Chains A and B, each alone.
Chain A
Amino acid sequence: MKLEAKIPEGPLAEKWARHKFGLKLVNPANKRKYDIIVVGTGLAGASAAASLAELGYNVKAFCFQDSPRRAHSIAAQGGINAAKNYQNDGDSVFRLFYDTIKGGDYRAREGNVYRLAEVSVNIIDQCVAQGVPFAREYGGLLANRSFGGAQVSRTFYARGQTGQQLLLGAYSALSRQVANGKVKLYPRTEMLDLVVEGGKARGIITRNLVTGKIESHSAHAVLLCTGGYGNVFYLSTNAMGSNVTAAWRAHKHGALFANPCFTQIHPTCIPVKGDYQSKLTLMSESLRNDGRVWVPKRKEDSEKIRKGLMKPTDLKEEDRDYFLERRYPSFGNLVPRDVASRNAKYVCDEGRGVSKTGLAVYLDFADAIKRDGRKTIEAKYGNLFEMYEKIVDDNPYETPMMIYPAVHYTMGGLWVDYNLMTTIPGLYALGEANFSDHGANRLGASALMQGLADGYFVIPYTVGDYLATIGPADKVSVDSPVFKQAEQRVQDQIQRLLSINGTTPVDEYHRKLGLIMWDYCGMSRTEEGLKKAKKMIQELKAEFWSNVKVTGDNEEMNQTLEQAGRVADFIELGELMVDDALNRNESCGGHFREEYSTEDGEAKRDDENYAYVAAWEYKGENQPAVLHKEDLVFENVKLTQRSYK
C-alpha cells in the first residue's frame, strides 16, 4: 500500500486555494441525491453536519449522548486560536502555522497545518455571526489572550467555557438544519461497525442504546468525527463515554491508524485522590499565565507537607524550587505541555512531590494576587478556582493549588490525506479522530480550531470531489447481503460479551488497562517497559474475554454492555499504541523514550530516521499490525531542536 497524502503542489500559501479550484463540484440540484453519515456531534461533527446540510446534502448525524450538545468538545475551557492579528503584535497565518509545526515537534504535514492556520480566521467570523459570546474589550471589539506559551495574543475565549460556547454555536447551526429537514438526528445511538463494499465505505451499523435495536444506515460517504482515544488510560480528562470504537472498527476494515503513541499529557490537572477515582479534571492552561509552579527544594520538606506537618505557605521563598523557571528561564511556567508535564514527573520521581500521594506540584498564585490584586485574579480565573475548591475542598486563594499531569488529548488517529479521507475511499475522519495537524504535540487552543476548521471549511469542499466522482447511483442498499452480514457480526459480538458471564466487572479491566498504559506508555517510555506492557495487555485481553461479567441483555438500555464493547476495543488499541511507541526510537513531543534523551533529560528527536508518519494496517485478530510510512517533507520550515531554555 502506498500512502498518497495528496498534498497539492505549489507555494505553501497557495496550496489550499489551488486545491479547492481543482476539486470537482456537485451541481446544486444534485446535492440532494447524496446521503452523508456523520458520526459524532462535537465541534467537528456538528459543524460538518450543519455545513453539509446547508449545501443541500442529506445528512444523518449520530451521537451516543442524549443530545448532540453534550459532546465532549463542550468541556474545552481555554480558547481557540486564530491568526487575526487583531492585537497588532506580529501574528500572521505563517506565524500560527510555524508555531503549530514547531510545537508539534515537526511530525505534522506542512500543507495541512498551513491550511488550518489559513482558515482559522474564518472560524472566528462564523462563530461570532452565530452569536457566540466571545470576551470583548470595553470598546466592543474582541478580546484576545496569550495562551499555552504563544508569544502573541491570538486566543479568543468565552470565559472559561470556550468549548461550550463554540459547540453550542455549531449545535444551533445543526438544530436549524434538523428543523429544515436536511439533518436527521440519532441521539443515544452508537456506531458499532463500518460497512465496506467494493473497496468503498457504504454505511454503518448502529445500536440504539435505548432499545438495543441493531440498525443499518447506508450513505455515499461516512464521516467519523468521534474524538480521541485518551480513555485508553482509564483516567483522563475525557468524558466517561469518550471511546475509540467507531475509529477502531473502521481500522479493522482497512483504515490505517496513524501515530497512535502520540498522546498529550496535560500538566495542569487536579491530582488523583483515590482508587475510586473515575476521571480527572483539567484546570485550564491559562492558569500558567499567572501561576508559578514549584515544589520544595528538599525532600524532607515535601515529606513534612505530605504528612500534614507543614503548610506550603510556611515554606520560605529560598526553600522553594520554581523548577520550570529555573530550567527554562525564557519560557518559564509557559513551556509547552509536554515539557511542563515531564518536569512535574521528574520532581515527583525525585520524591519532592506534594499531596498525600506525592504525585502533585504546586501552582501558586500568591505573587499574582500581590501584583494584580485578588479582584483581577478572580475575574480571570474565578470559575476555575471555584471548581478546584469544590473538588479538593481547599481554597486556592490562600493555599497554592496542587496540580499533576493527566492524559488530555490524542494527536494520533485515523490516517487521512489532505482531503481528510482515510485509506478507505468514502470514509473520512475529522477533528481529534484524525492524526493530521498536531504532529507529536498539540498547542493549547488548537483543538477547537482544528475541529471547526475540518467541519466548517475543509470537508464541505473535499467531500464534494469524491461524491462527484462516484455519482449518486453508487450506493448500496441496507437490504443487501453486505449490510446483513455486518449486522450479524455486531449481534455475534454482543452475544459473545453477554454469554461470558464471568466474575469481574468491565470497569476493573478498564482500570487495569489504564494503569499499564500510564506506567509504561505514558509520560516516559522505555523499550523494556513497553515490551512488558505488550505482554501484560495480551494477558489482560485473554482474561477479559474469558472472565468479564456483563449483566442484563441486549434488548434494553444496558450501560454495562456499551462499556464492555468499548473496553474490548481499547485493549486492542493499547497494544497498537505500545507497538508504535516501540517502533519510534526517538523522543518527540508527547512521545518520550528515555533511551533517546540528553544528559539533562531533554528529548532527542531523530529527523534522519523518524521524520515520518507511522500508519498501521490491521491484519487480523492477534496478527502483528503492518507499518506503512509517510515521509514528512519540510520545504518551508527548518527543523530545529525545540528549545525553551
Chain B
Amino acid sequence: MKVNLKVWRQKNNNTAGKLVEYSLDNISPDMSFLEMFDVLNAELIRKGDEPVAFDHDCREGICGMCSMYINGRAHGPQTGATTCQLHMRSFSDGDTIVVEPWRARAFPVIKDLMVDRTAFDRVVQAGGYVSVNTGSAPDANEIAIPRTIADEAMDAAQCIGCGACVAACKNASAMLFVSAKVSHMAVLPQGQAERKIRAERMVAQMDAEGFGACSFTGACSVECPKSISLDHIARMNREYLGAKLTSENV
C-alpha cells in the first residue's frame, strides 16, 4: 500500500518545528506502524537526510516508550494498544497520516517525535512506593489479600507510564497516571501506612510539574493502552480529600 505522511520535525527543544511531508510506496499491511517508520528512516538515511527521531524499545506494548500522536489520537486509531502494536492494516491505501509528538507543557519535545517524560518519574519519587527496605519483609502469605482486592490493585498497577493519558487530555492532565499508582497502593494492605501522605505528595508533585487540571472528560481512559478505568481518578479524589482534611503533613 501507499501512504502519505505528515511528520512533526523539530531539531531540538530550542528550535521551532514543522510538519514535513513524505510518501511511501510498498508498505505491507502486516507491518507495524513503527516498522513503517523504520522503512522511512532507512530511505532518509540512504539519501543522506536525518532520520525521524522517535522513542521505542520493547515493541510489544509493555515498556511504554513509544509515543506517537497519530491523526489526532494518542497511539493512533486503535483502542487498548500502544503505537508499536498498531499495524498498517488499520489504514487504507493512499491515506494521509499526520504524526505528532505528545503535546503537553510537562513533556517538552526533545527532538521530532520524542518528548521528555521524566515528570512522571518525579511524581513516583514523591511517594509512589511502599517504604520497605530489602530484607525486612514478612512472609509473603502472612497477610491474606482477597482476590478481588488483588485484582483491583493489578488493574491499576498495569499502567505502563507512556503518557497517552496526558497527550489525549485537552488540559494535559496527568490524573489517570497518578491515580493509577495512588489507587494500586491504597487498596492493598501494604500501602496503608503511607496512604495519606502518598496521595498528598503525589498530587502536589503532579501540580508542580505543570500538568493541567482534570475536567473528567474521560479521553485519557479511552486512549489508555491498558484501558485504565476512570474509577481510579474518583478514588484518588476521595483519597486526596480525606488526606487533606486530616493532614499533618504537606
Contacts and interface: CB of A to CB of B under 8 A. Distances in A.
B19 to A, nearest CB: 19
Contact of B140 (A125, A273, A276, A391): A125
Interface in B116-156: 116-118, 120-121, 124-141, 143-147, 150-151, 153-154
Interface stretch (A8-16, A127-135, A146-154, A433-441): A127-135
Contact of B120 (A67, A75, A241, A278): A67
Given A140-B145, A557-B12, A131 B150 contact: no
B124 A460 contact: no
A158 B150 CA distance: 10
Contacts of A512: none
A552 interface: yes
B85 interface: yes
Contacts of A139: 144
Contacts of A503: 46
Interface stretch (B32-40, B168-176, B230-238, B241-249): B32-40
A70 B35 contact: no
Contact of B130 (A72, A130, A278, A549): A130
A277 B160 contact: no
Contacts of A559: 51, 53
A276 B38 contact: yes
Interface residues on A, range: 35 or more
Interface in A488-544: 503, 505, 507-508
A112 interface: no
Interface stretch (B54-62, B69-77, B212-220): B54-62
B45 interface: yes
Contacts of A126: 132, 134-135, 137
Contacts of B9: none
Interface string A422-442: 000000000000000000000
Contacts of B45: 505, 549, 551, 560
A133 B188 contact: yes
A179 B202 CA distance: 12
A131 B190 contact: yes
Contacts of B146: 136, 138, 140
Give the one of A84, A128, A130, A165 with max B CB within 10 A: A128
A191 interface: no
A281 B61 CA distance: 10
Contacts of A508: 42
B128 A175 contact: yes
Contact of B132 (A129, A549, A551): A129
A639 interface: no
Nearest to B112: A557
A616 interface: no
Given A54-B134, A74-B62, A279-B60, A175 B154 contact: no
Interface in A11-61: 47, 50-51, 54
B12 to A, nearest CB: 7
A141 B89 CA distance: 44
B58 A239 contact: yes
A246 to B, nearest CB: 16
B103 interface: no
Given A65-B65, A142-B141, A278-B35, A239 B134 contact: no
Contact of B51 (A136, A137, A560): A560
A135 B46 contact: no
A142 B147 CA distance: 9
B114 to A, nearest CB: 7
Contacts of A546: none
B23 interface: no
A637 interface: no
Interface string B16-48: 000000000000101110110011011011101
Contact of B150 (A50, A84, A135, A172): A135
Interface in A535-586: 549, 551-552, 556-557, 559-560
Given A131-B153, A131-B184, A138 B147 contact: yes
Nearest to B31: A276
B157 interface: yes
A175 B147 contact: no
Contact of B126 (A69, A75, A179, A456): A179
B204 interface: no
Contacts of A69: 64, 121, 161
Given A125-B140, A128-B137, A158 B154 contact: yes
Max count, chain A CB within 10 A of own CB: residue among B34, B132, B190: B132
Interface of B: 11-12, 28, 30-32, 34-35, 38-39, 41-42, 44-46, 48-51, 53, 55-65, 81, 85, 87, 89, 110-111, 114, 116-118, 120-121, 124-141, 143-147, 150-151, 153-154, 157-158, 160-161, 184-185, 188, 190-191
Given A67-B121, A70-B63, 19 more contacts: A67-B117, A74-B62, A128-B140, A129-B130, A134-B150, A136-B150, A140-B144, A141-B141, A158-B154, A159-B154, A165-B158, A175-B121, A176-B129, A274-B28, A276-B31, A278-B38, A279-B60, A393-B89, A549-B48
